[in-house]
Amino acid sequence: MHSANAPQLGDTPRLIEVDGRMLCTQIRGRGPTVVLDGGGTGQGVGGGWGREFEDGLASMATVVTYDRSGVGHSDGCQARTIAQMADDLHELVHATGVVLPAVFVGWSYGGLVTAMHALRHPGDVAGLVFVDPTPAAPVPMPAALRLPLQFLGVTQLRAMASASAAGLFGTAFGQRLIHRSVTRTSGTEPSREMLELATSFYTTPRAIRELSRMLARMDTHLREVHQAMTARGACFPDVPTTVLAAAIRPERIPAKHRRHLDADHRQLAELAPNGRVVLAEDATHQLPLEQPQLVLQHIAETIASPEHE
């Protein structure tokens, strides 16, 4: 679908055709284009980045959010590779009719898609901001242990989806489980908005099943992106590039895993001629929800940089 056929821009989510599939997309605000690629399965329509962050960004830019193929309100099957996700993103931003090149912002798993998109489609990109991205480098753990743990995680998610369908997470006991899970993941007392988003996820069986399918391919996805990043001549376009890394990690993460995260973030930044890593003090992985103004500041700096112009 070419940009000439794209609908008029507006705040209401709409379905846009990409390679025979309809992807749910929302476009808000005015100004330079900023494309958000969210964590997890990539359900970006619906406020998953947090109200303060999304509203603040829409006040200074044209903001594109979307649900990846087979996720949320988008149809089709979930993409099997990160390259397919990146190519979908390339086709989507051209189909919307927004002004390109754009600043691409990837949070968590969305950082993998953002990185692959920048490697495969550099002409789309005017700037890059990675928000505590998932590391692509191999985890410092033998495959004989890593893969069974991945399988266990998938099994747990499938059981969780069944529990969700049975209404467990709508009970007082289920709410306590959600609170405990969010607290353990973030390492801090969760905000009301974080709990609302988590409750929405836990009470939507389809969303949990989508995450289980993605997790089943996670090891393959990480190896795919790592190979692309370390291929001979691999580099990002010469645009402003920032990797925002959370300073606070769950206490149970081993020291070698912390070092692994730090090294991967440095490697990601080094793919750009002037890339940098910025440590977000007093922040966990939930950066856009905890410190929306910090993320907005770095996006605004990217937009305002001479290289972006």
Provide mean pLDDT across the span 232-260: 90
pLDDT of residue 309: 56
Work out the average pLDDT over 49-55.
Answer: 95
Band (4; pLDDT cuts 50, 70, 90): very low
- Bin 81: left if φ > 0, else alpha if -120 < ψ < 50, else beta: beta
DSSP alpha helix (H) spans, 203-291: 205-216, 218-230, 255-269, 287-290
Stronger pLDDT, 85 or 146, i.e. the higher one: 85
Q: Assign 200 a pLDDT band (cuts: 50, 70, 90).
A: very high
- Position 238 pLDDT exceeds 90: yes
> In the structure, what pLDDT confidence band is assigned to residue 187 with cuts at 50, 70 and 90?
low
Model confidence over 204-229: pLDDT tens digits? Answer: 999 999 999 999 999 999 999 999 99
SS3 content of the chain, % helix, strand, coil (to 5): 50, 15, 35
Q: What is the pLDDT of residues 13-47, one digit of tens each?
A: 999 999 999 999 999 999 999 999 999 999 999 89
Place of tokens 């829409």: 58
Describe the strand order of the beta sheet including 62-66 as a list of residue ranges: 14-18, 21-28, 62-66, 33-37, 102-107, 125-131, 241-246, 276-280
CATH number for the segment(s) 3-139+223-304: 3.40.50.1820
Amino acid at 254: P
- When pLDDT is averaged across residues 134-145 and rounded to a whole number, the result is 85
Closest listed residue to residue 236, CA positions, set 284, 268, 194: 268
Q: How far is CA 247 from the centre of its chain?
A: 18
Per DSSP bridges, beta strands 276-280 and 241-246 are parallel
pLDDT at 203: 95
Distance CA 218, CA 222 (A): 6
Rounded CA gap, 207 and 161, in Å? 8
Per residue in 265-302, pLDDT (tens digit) is 999 999 999 999 999 998 999 999 999 999 999 999 99
Q: Does pTM top 0.85 for this prediction?
A: yes
Residue 271 tokens read as: 């793919």
Considering the chain, what percentage of its residues have pLDDT values greater than 90? 81
**What pLDDT was estimated at residue 9?**
43
User: Taking Cα atoms as reference points, which of 115, 59, 136, 113 lies closest to residue 241?
Assistant: 115
Asked if 21 and 74 touch (Cβ cutoff 8 Å), the reply is yes
For the cut 70, the answer to whether the pLDDT of residue 7 exceeds it is no
pLDDT of amino acid 252? 75
pLDDT of residue 229: 96
CATH 3.40.50.1820 residue ranges of the chain are 3-139+223-304
Q: State yes or no: pLDDT of 6 exceeds 70.
A: no
Using left for φ > 0, alpha for ψ between -120 and 50, and beta otherwise, residue 55 falls in alpha
CA 148 to chain CA centroid, Å, is 25
